[in-house]
Amino acid sequence: MTLDANPFADRSSLPFELPDFSAIRAGHYQPAIEAGMAEQLVELAAIASNPEPPTVENVIDAWEASGQLLSRAALAFFTVKWADTTDELTAIDEAVAPLLAAHGDAIYLDRPLYDRVVALGDRVEAGEVGLDDQAAYWLERTRLRFERAGVQLGSGEQARLRDLNTTIAGLQSKFGRLALAGSNAAAVWVSDASELDGLTEAEIKAASELAVERGRPDAWLIEISNTSGQRPLDVLTDRGLRERIHRAATTRGLAGEFDTRAVLLELARLRAERAVLLGFANHADFVAADACAKSADAIWERLTGLVPAVVENVAAEAAELDTVLQRAEPGATLQPWDWQYLSELVRAERYSLDAGQLRPYLELEHVLRDGVFAAATGLYGITFHERTDLVPYNPEVRVFEVREADGTPVGLFLADFFTRGGKQGGAWMNNIVDQNHLLGQLPVVVNNSNLVKPPAGEPTLMTWDDVITLFHEFGHSLHGLLSDTRYRSQSGTETPRDFVEYPSQVNEMWSLDPALLGRYAVHVETGEALPSEWVETLIGSTLFQQGFKTAEYLSAALLDQVWHTTPLDELPADAEDVEAFEAAALEKVGLTLPLVPPRYRSTYFRHTFEGGYDAGYYAYIWSEVLDADTAAWIRATGGMTRENGERFRRRLLARGGSIDVMDAYRDYRGQDADLKHLLERRGLLR
């Protein structure tokens, strides 16, 4: 396959090998991905058939140098597909998803290639080849990956496994497309301006502009984000509109053109079948065995152990909210669409600080430069320099060059802040170029979020949750930017799923650092710093509504586990039974809480059914155990100091997945994590 005039044919000549997005067109992706897969199979076949004795250079280094064309094209494609999809990109995704799954099978079900890896291990054991820690871990992990992939199965079982992998990949892609389209279609129309009371003028204007774009200049349009909870529910005073938004959010995917039930059900069933074929009791055990948790039972024990305290806290919080509701509307029944709004009233009453008062102090540019970037500079000495000469994949994306204190280049950071119709919901980090010494590449990382873009010329005001999310996602970016590994497969966030959230969660702690907060939380119009009493109040309010927050997360995490621990013959066979299964799952774990829906219901649970966090949504709280312990230790040893930053950088972030991550954690921390710090943080210690 020729790639004449295809921008992916060679390594980019732009700084940091940033893809030349000014030249890339949608039609370039699929040919490059297909050619890249073919090229890599040839390169790996040469490794398998090499008659020379296996060495680090002719096995590990050669493998890691393979597939560069595929990597260039695929990393760029998925960056754009997630952030800026179109019908053409969607069609490409539909076409390449099963091809990429088949490509993985072609590699990890290749017995001669596996035998070559085993032969290198045999030479190491015999003392004929020496390995450093990174190469030794690569060899261990690669051999395990072959075996988990089914290389030792018989030919008939392998044929079925290939079919399953290809079908699962296609269904995951389909679920993502349906869920995104369903969220877009669920947007709520408003025809009476009085219903918008509580929104800022900028938010109302933005809703009007969205309506105009869709041909309704006489209306307003409120978009639906990917979670069950919706940001406008914090402030909208109109109870009827709050109900409409809540129902639109929580009934997505249950019917109509974008019904996801049949897809998610088939996915659950096929994953269950595949797990048994590979020798595991269920898909959750298959996932956990390759993570820090090691077993689904361990995950179940940790998650369900939190439930009683969470339920107790939710009941107390609901009683408090009902008291507030009765004062405003005697005889009314507390409903889930009331929770966020009433919580903000309680927060304002208890802490003399509400979301409306806080937002003018949380302007994006100040939070980014004087908060997120400033924390990274204070800890790691790195600095950020905007590069307007480099062309990103969308004009809204900003590009920053990251440098060491002495000016040495570190990498590129791309920031894509605003929601768009073709952008998946939520917030995330991904790589466009993986750091590695073997090929001499520096990292190029992207952060995406879904802030509502203000009208032209007006500032972007954030909620406190937006601020936390910005710090969190930048923590992932630091993991990628500060990586210092020989191999790209071990770079940065290439770690187990239940560890990858840990560094990003640690980075959240700096959002509440009093000195830093005083720098970035300044009034957008007056430049006045956030009042000191508000800072103390904000810090003191961290335990507020932890019952609700933990319950909505736990409900989703345990729902994910139930879908993936249930045996195949006990899973629903009909899409009409999905809601009943979900209800039974929540009842089983003791989280039947009508006032607190799961953060994601099954029909829009993209983390698990689009893939990536399937049977792995527990990772956030599993990682938070490490995070809470680390944060407590950092506070006890001086807080934001270069010494603390360098220790975290060199012993943990820099290592990526080049050694066992728990060994890296123990080396950094000096001991295993203490669960009590998480319980204290969430107000669950009794």
What confidence tens digit (pLDDT) does each residue in 39-50 have? 999 999 999 999
Residue 681 confidence (pLDDT) above 90: no
The SS3 of residue 644 is: helix
Whether 457 has a pLDDT exceeding 70, the answer reads yes
Residue 615: the pLDDT is 97
pLDDT of residue 319: 97
- Among 6-10, 199-203, 265-269, 383-387, whose mean pLDDT is lowest? 199-203
Specify the fold of 360-531.
Answer: Neurolysin; domain 3 (1.10.1370)
Q: Is the per-residue pLDDT at 432 higher than 60?
A: yes
pLDDT beyond 90 at 30: yes
Q: 43: buried, middle or exposed (CB in 10 Å: 19+, 13-18, 0-12)?
A: middle
> Where are the domain boundaries for CATH 1.10.1370.40 in the chain?
360-531
Question: Stretch 271-278: mean pLDDT, rounded?
Answer: 98
The DSSP element (H or E) to which 285 belongs, if any, is helix 283-289
Mean pLDDT for the stretch of residues 625-631: 95
pLDDT of residue 115: 98
491-514 mean pLDDT? 95
Residue spans in the chain of domains classed CATH 1.20.1050.40 = 15-108+110-149
Model pTM? 0.89
**Whether the Cβ atoms of residue 622 and residue 293 lie closer than 8 Å to each other:** yes
pLDDT (mean) for 566-585: 97
Contact 325, 332 (CB under 8 A): yes
Checking if the pLDDT of 686 tops 70, the result is: no
Point out the residues that are catalytic: 473
Predicted local confidence at residue 685, as pLDDT: 67
Three-class SS string for 518-550?
HHHCECCCCCCECCHHHHHHHHHHHHCCHHHHH
- Provide mean pLDDT across the span 621-650: 96
User: At residue 577, does pLDDT exceed 80?
Assistant: yes
Strand partners, 413: 400, 445
Q: Which residues, 6 or more positions from 100, have their beta carbon under 8 angstroms from its beta carbon?
A: 33, 37, 74, 169
Residue 205: is its pLDDT beyond 60? yes
CATH superfamily of 15-108+110-149: Endopeptidase. Chain P; domain 1 (1.20.1050.40)
Q: How confident is the model at residue 537 (pLDDT cuts 50, 70, 90)?
A: confident
Tokens of 502: 């840990």
Average pLDDT of the segment spanning 421-444: 95
What average pLDDT does the structure give for the chain? 95
Tell me the three state secondary structure of residue 451: strand
